[in-house]
Amino acid sequence: MNMEENIKYEEAFAELQALVHKMENDELDIDQMSEQLKRAQELIRLCKDKLTKTDGEIKKILAEK
């Protein structure tokens, strides 16, 4: 299993917010920007996957009641 899969949603979202803040405030040089954009994409994917999984679990639980 990928180590990134173990990151909590809150941690991934907080890191994503920090990256966006740095980008908005021009705190990254062009080399960092490319690397951080790739990281942001990973974090967005992780958050989306976790939300989708949680939504599916909630729907399953509700359907059983």
Q: What is the pLDDT along the chain (65 residues), one digit of tens a residue?
A: 455 668 899 999 999 999 999 999 999 898 899 999 999 999 999 999 999 999 999 999 999 97
Q: Supply the pLDDT for residue 40.
A: 95
Say which amino acid occupies 24: E
What are the distances in angstroms from CA 48 to CA 5, 56, 63, 64? 12, 12, 22, 25
Q: How far apart are CA 1 and CA 48, in angstroms?
A: 18
- The pLDDT value recorded for residue 1 is 42
Instruction: Tell whether pTM > 0.85.
Output: no
Residue 2: per-residue pLDDT: 52
